[in-house]
Chain A
């Protein structure tokens, strides 16, 4: 698991980058058994057409560029493409949008992805605290995180008990448990996600700085979850082993 993930990380670092594009981030996640969709990176239109056939229409296209991390701002995500003709047209459009947004954008390829059945949206994230190290965050996606900041944190590594408590302690929990006659969401799948992210970051703590899995679709009980979009920020190679700080900020009043 670690070896495979490290290969991807080292390759990104060797290109002088610390921000992984979605495709790279998902490869790291996949190495740890996290659920990512069957996606393929197409370098050419022909490849894209071939992959779309394999995956089956409708598909989505997402342009991968280290300079374009906010893909929707740059309009480089095209959804619900129904056939080869439309794909050819969107292929042109997506490249044009990228050039307009960042003329200097280096394009690593275009991700061809299946259209996913919508589920309840959650966000899982990781940040690093200077005193306590990496912390994992959990919350519901969309307005719950944007407006209400209904999220909860734990220091990594977490136990299964921590993971379950995180899920039940957010205010929006009833939405996952099944409010208004809705079927309950797959809580065990979320627990599994949280534990795997915790393990991944614990083992790669010298490399990973921050992470956003946003959104993750969670389906009904027993039907699992899938990571729709992912970002990983790596530490600058020199940051790898932080020196023990001799700063003493605290003081007596």
Chain B
């Protein structure tokens, strides 16, 4: 069962040959942008498969031979991307079935989201797909983006939308517009996305299928979902329970509408909004619920870097070079239900000996504004060895005059590597700080722009670690 889903979905992410049905030479048209994406990635040496444009009215686009029908396509075609108008899709699906292609992305909109006519088309397509063992992503979506293999069906051109680099985060979105905006943003924020799937109306491939697939995807450390609704709740829960035992899943669920009140004749029914039910589902399946997209990627970033060294408890140690930031972080520790670590006597003694008298030893430990990188090293040395500390938040205000920026970056990276305690950094500031934050992230230390967001990300790690401990004990 597990291997079946991997085999079924493989062509979506790594096809031998892709047929672009509705490819055109008219710039800006969906069928043109998708063709250009593949062509560009082929020229860059990233996309290794063959590209077969399909259009009955053209013979050639940019030097590529155009096929006049699906029937004419070479036999190695294992993925079809469809961007022709909805009413023509069922017929094309029949030809695809005949040709033996088993993976189809339907980009085109104008289906179930528009009403009964569209739903009829969807039912027809689904029937053909089920009968012939074809898996379908879409319709009404932007499809798939995989930076490692060069699959890119996102019909927003590179001139208007940046693509993120590869990374251990999978991003699944019901909404195509949200998916595109997030990819663009992730590129800017330096967040690596290994696979993006936007499934639109999810006629066939759904959240559960993708979770089953990502369990086996070794390149993916953490899976993020933007969900508006789930069709088969029980299937979703089964798949979610399986994957969360192996890797974290973060969900951003929109549509906090009340439906319960209208139909309920019991007290309980009137209290059950759609949202409370999703809350329950996420709790029971170990899915971490994100408050908003910022929270989702804050968490994703933390898990991408620290999935394999989750905190062993909820006791947080804070090191800072600014008193105010330390207080904010301590407040956040309480707010997100974590505990401030009670430093061991050895830690306190060691730091008091080494630190100048005006530095504040405790939790938070304040290395104060005249700090150099070495003072951070001493604090990290003591905190990582302290058995009362489960995770460390290091606040670095890069603006202080004596702090050697590159040295502190190296020290943090060194302790991240050699300690089994997760280290999360907070760097507040502007452009200059941002540059150092990037350097720090490249070396495996997730960085957040405020203490509150840093602690919130740590809280996500702690909660997931607790969940794992519980399910493994059961």
Partner-B contacts on A (CB < 8 A): 19, 123, 125-127, 129, 131-133, 135, 137, 145, 149, 151-155, 158-159, 161-162, 165, 210-212, 214, 231, 233, 246-253
Contact = CB atoms under 8 A, between A and B. Distances in A.
Interface of B: 109, 111-113, 119, 122-123, 140-142, 174-178, 198, 200-203, 228-234, 236-237, 260, 264-269, 271-272, 274, 276-277, 279-281, 283-284, 470, 474
Contact of A153 (B109, B142, B177, B277): B277
Contacts of A233: 265-266
* Dominant SS among interface residues on chain B: helix
18 contacts: A125-B267, A127-B266, A127-B269, A129-B274, A131-B232, A131-B233, A131-B277, A135-B272, A135-B277, A135-B280, A152-B280, A155-B237, A155-B277, A161-B470, A233-B265, A248-B113, A248-B202, A253-B176
A22 B366 CA distance: 64
Nearest to A249: B229
Given A132-B234, A214-B267, A251 B272 contact: no
A155 B235 CA distance: 13
Given A155-B281, A248-B113, A252-B174, A145 B271 contact: yes
B280 A250 contact: no
A132 B208 CA distance: 13
A151 B268 CA distance: 9
Contacts of A249: 229
Nearest to A245: B231
B271 A161 contact: no
A250 B202 contact: yes
Contacts of B176: 252-253
A123 B119 contact: no
Q: Which of A127, A151, A252 has the most chain B CB within a 10 Å cutoff?
A: A252
Nearest 7 CB-CB pairs, A to B?
A125-B268, A132-B233, A251-B113, A210-B266, A248-B112, A131-B233, A153-B280
Contacts of A145: 267, 271
B201 A252 contact: yes
B279 A153 contact: yes
A42 B229 CA distance: 49
B231 A131 contact: yes
B123 A212 contact: no
B140 A251 contact: yes
B266 A231 contact: yes
B276 to A, nearest CB: 5
A133 B233 CA distance: 8
Given A132-B230, A165-B283, A250-B201, 17 more contacts: A127-B268, A127-B272, A131-B231, A131-B277, A132-B233, A132-B236, A133-B234, A149-B271, A153-B276, A153-B279, A154-B284, A212-B266, A233-B265, A248-B119, A248-B202, A251-B113, A251-B201
A248 B229 CA distance: 10
B268 A252 contact: no
Given A131-B233, A132-B237, A155-B237, A123 B109 contact: no
A212 B177 contact: no
Contacts of A149: 271
B266 A211 contact: yes
Contacts of A126: 266, 268
Given A250-B229, A251-B112, A132 B174 contact: no
Contacts of A158: 284
B229 A153 contact: no
A251 B173 CA distance: 11
Given A127-B269, A153-B272, A154-B280, A210 B201 contact: no
Contact of B474 (A153, A159, A248, A253): A159
Contact of B198 (A162, A212, A252): A252
B175 A137 contact: no
Given A132-B277, A155-B284, A252 B200 contact: yes
A252 B141 contact: yes
A137 B268 contact: yes
A30 B286 CA distance: 33
Contacts of A151: 271, 276
B126 to A, nearest CB: 9
A155 B230 contact: no
Given A251-B200, A251-B201, A125 B277 contact: no
B229 A131 contact: yes
A212 B201 contact: no
Nearest to A138: B268
Contacts of A127: 260, 264, 266, 268-269, 271-272
Contacts of B284: 154-155, 158, 162
Contacts of A132: 230, 233-234, 236-237, 277, 281
Q: Which of B142, B174, B272 has the most chain A CB within a 10 Å cutoff?
A: B272
A132 B236 CA distance: 9
A233 B203 CA distance: 34
Nearest to A139: B271
A155 B272 CA distance: 12
Given A248-B119, A250-B228, A252-B141, A212 B268 contact: yes
B379 to A, nearest CB: 35
A187 B174 CA distance: 41
Given A127-B269, A248-B122, A252-B176, A210 B109 contact: no
A152 B275 CA distance: 11
A139 to B, nearest CB: 8
Contacts of A212: 266-268
B266 A125 contact: yes
A251 B114 CA distance: 9
Contacts of A137: 268, 271-272
B270 to A, nearest CB: 9
Contact of A210 (B113, B233, B269, B279): B269
A130 to B, nearest CB: 8
Nearest to B226: A253
A151 B470 CA distance: 23
Contacts of A247: 119
Contacts of B109: 252
